[in-house]
Structure 1
């Protein structure tokens, strides 16, 4: 005889705590006291027979059992939402994808029609993003991010390896050919994507070059603007194979054989919502490209 589960209301509370990774923040969002939240979680765990959360240096983390239950809850809520939309006569679900205009224009856009044909019930919305953080607050369901993948702001999945290497214009290349890349690069202005980026530090380490704090840097968050700045002679930048058109046209040149081999594009899903069927469908489609 099946055991009757009596704490369905607590599952919503559980999902909110998992979203915020904090009992206090969840209590504030739900207009409850922290004590009441803790009591309901303890009661839920007693009824389930296993722990849902554990304390860590980062706050509250889900146990393996908690992760499985969260995935089940999210799938359940999505089915309810889809059914409500169907009853209202709305046939599509919006999936918001956070992506830089650089990647969207050079790789993603030419392939999107295939996804739309395979999933006509999912309405795609591309959200231009330069820096990807706090995805939930920005309403982003899944994001495509370039870098090392060493982040703590979501569920990270490797997607497309794309090593990065220094590029410059023709004048920069001539200087490298005259002085040697190891010596010449130390005299260029380094174009960076944002002020706390580790990309140039990682590359200098890989190349065995000193990386003491340099003042000759210029922060240009938009990769498209950064490419143009390199062409205009404003400095050198770490770029990847997606800048191949400019290279083919003789506007950009690789300045060193050393590259950040571990860098590339990663899929980033917010802690809450990453298990939605539409998100998973898009992630699976991307991995198949």
Structure 2
């Protein structure tokens, strides 16, 4: 890394910002300096490289073939530095960043987080609700709560809870359902790309999806659940999604049988770093909450 001594850090920052943003003006705004200062830093860096990094055009800057290659490495390098600095800030402030699917966050987790805060007032939780599979080895995320089979590479994955599925609907609609075959006579609420199909529940009852009729389709499970509460049909739900609505009497589970899908909830952390005190505290609290099979306790605030 001795070649770093040949270059000024400010010049490399100016190159990266100008290349990423496409103009000196935008780079100056991000770096908090004048356009002239950015221009001078870019020129000095190009002199140190001994070749141009950008072509100048009336509409902005365009990287040369050499510049494209250099900028790719600079952007990756500064992103790593930024992640490292954020990690230091977060640990100093006692912040725990948790990446979690939006439906789990909105229907289950956020309604229970105050209990964790009461137990651990010095740990600040930052929820990053996203369906993307974040790599905790290469990001500022401390914990991922994921649904799947737990076979993700290069991470530490600890199983939390099997996902059990069962039909749910409004209490009024539930009065029409006495036997699983009755599902053939009510609207069925569906997701366009579910992780599992109705056969996961119908199969053990000696039926298959061909008995099911039409019904509304919604883009995610949270909307499907709201549609079931509104009486628009029957949805194949699961405990962490539906338990609070059932406890509040807004939703019914007309049949007692619940079946595993082969999918589970997992507590995912970095394989390369040992869990911190905050990570261990959150894991232990989460396991305790889920051990109750997601049943809400008295005093739980009702979801809107």
TM-score calculated relative to the size of structure 2: 0.51
The 5 Å alignment of 1:21-100 reads: 85=89, 90-99=92-101, 100=105
Match of 2:107 in 1: 102
- Whether 2:193 is the aligned partner of 1:191: answer no
- 8 Å CA contact 1:94–1:124 kept in 2: the answer is yes
Q: CA separation in 1, counterparts of 2:88 and 2:110?
A: 35
Match of 1:141 in 2: 142
Deviation at 1:158, TM superposition (A): 2.1
Q: Residue deviations 1:199-249, cap 9 Å, x none? A: 523122232211359773544355443232112222211234553453355
Match of 2:236 in 1: 238
Paired residues in the alignment total 204
Q: CA separation in 1, counterparts of 2:271 and 2:176?
A: 50
> CA distance change for structure 1 residues 288 and 189 in 2, over 3 Å: closer, same or farther?
same
Q: CA separation in 1, counterparts of 2:252 and 2:128?
A: 31
Match of 1:285 in 2: 285
Q: Secondary structure at the match of 2:259?
A: coil
Match of 1:160 in 2: 161
Deviation at 1:264, TM superposition (A): 7.8
> CA distance change for structure 1 residues 112 and 265 in 2, over 3 Å: closer, same or farther?
farther
> CA distance change for structure 1 residues 83 and 217 in 2, over 3 Å: closer, same or farther?
closer
Which structure is larger by alpha-carbon Rg, 1 or 2?
A: 2
TM-score calculated relative to the size of structure 1: 0.53
Q: CA separation in 2, counterparts of 1:197 and 1:288?
A: 26
Structure 1 unpaired stretches of 5+: 1-28, 32-79
Q: Residue deviations 1:171-199, cap 9 Å, x none? A: 4223213xxx2221133333345514215
Q: CA separation in 2, counterparts of 1:227 and 1:166?
A: 11
Q: CA separation in 1, counterparts of 2:99 and 2:192?
A: 21
The 5 Å alignment of 1:169-248 reads: 169-177=170-178, 181-193=179-191, 195-212=193-210, 216=214, 218-241=216-239, 243-248=242-247
Q: CA separation in 1, counterparts of 2:86 and 2:223?
A: 40
- 8 Å CA contact 2:189–2:235 kept in 1: the answer is yes
Match of 1:256 in 2: 255
Q: Residue deviations 1:50-105, cap 9 Å, x none? A: xxxxxxxxxxxxxxxxxxxxxxxxxxxxxx9799659xx94434423424211123
> CA distance change for structure 1 residues 133 and 165 in 2, over 3 Å: closer, same or farther?
same
> CA distance change for structure 1 residues 221 and 206 in 2, over 3 Å: closer, same or farther?
farther
- 8 Å CA contact 2:146–2:268 kept in 1: the answer is no
Q: Secondary structure at the match of 1:254?
A: coil
Match of 1:113 in 2: 117
CA RMSD, Structure 1 to Structure 2 (Å): 4.3
> CA distance change for structure 1 residues 92 and 141 in 2, over 3 Å: closer, same or farther?
closer
- 8 Å CA contact 1:274–1:280 kept in 2: the answer is no
Q: Residue deviations 1:109-143, cap 9 Å, x none? A: 242214533xx2x43201224xx332239864323
Q: CA separation in 2, counterparts of 1:223 and 1:210?
A: 21
- 8 Å CA contact 1:168–1:236 kept in 2: the answer is yes
Deviation at 1:287, TM superposition (A): 2.4
